[in-house]
Amino acid sequence: MNLKLLAIITLVGLFFASCSKDYNKINREEILDFLDANNLDAIEHESGLFYIITQTGNGNHPPFDATVTVKYTGTLLDGTFFDGTQDGATATFPLYNLIPGWQIGIPLLEKGGKGTFFIPSELGYGSQATGNIPANSVLVFDIELVNF
């Protein structure tokens, strides 16, 4: 009886793992299609994140334990706005408390730098819908690293 239960648990785990890999592949294709359709040239990070540095900063990159101050806009690939700072306001966060896509992307910026980040769902909110962000969504963030 225990072997049957173990076999069922293993199969269910493999099923969910394969779903995650499918979304990784789907998200990658969605990002590549978006970049191509908009004639954008982004760098693919080994994590699956795509990014474009739109303005270089002063040469200093924040460490993982930094508290970062940013200006940002978050949208879905279709342009639907879901979050951001407005009217020149900033937001301050401990980097280690943010989604993995920000933890990977923000240290690619120098202080004063700006970038656009295309974050696959695996590095965002995954299979969880959050607010008006559907499950398995690619997130697009325009981020300016103001300070750390």
Question: For position 136, which CATH number holds?
Answer: 3.10.50.40
Q: Which residues contact 94 (CB under 8 A, 6 or more apart)?
A: 65, 66, 67, 68
Structural domain total, the chain = 1
| Residue 145 tokens, joined | 């690293």
Range of the domain at 29: 2-147
CB atoms within 10 A of CB 117: 25
The pTM score is 0.85
Tens-digit pLDDT profile for the chain (148 aa)? 454 544 444 434 434 444 456 889 999 999 999 999 999 999 999 999 999 999 999 979 999 999 999 999 999 999 999 999 999 999 999 999 999 999 999 999 999 999 999 999 999 999 999 999 999 999 999 999 999 9
> For the chain, how many residues are written?
148
Instruction: Report the Cα–Cα distance between both ends of the chain, in Å, rounded.
Output: 56
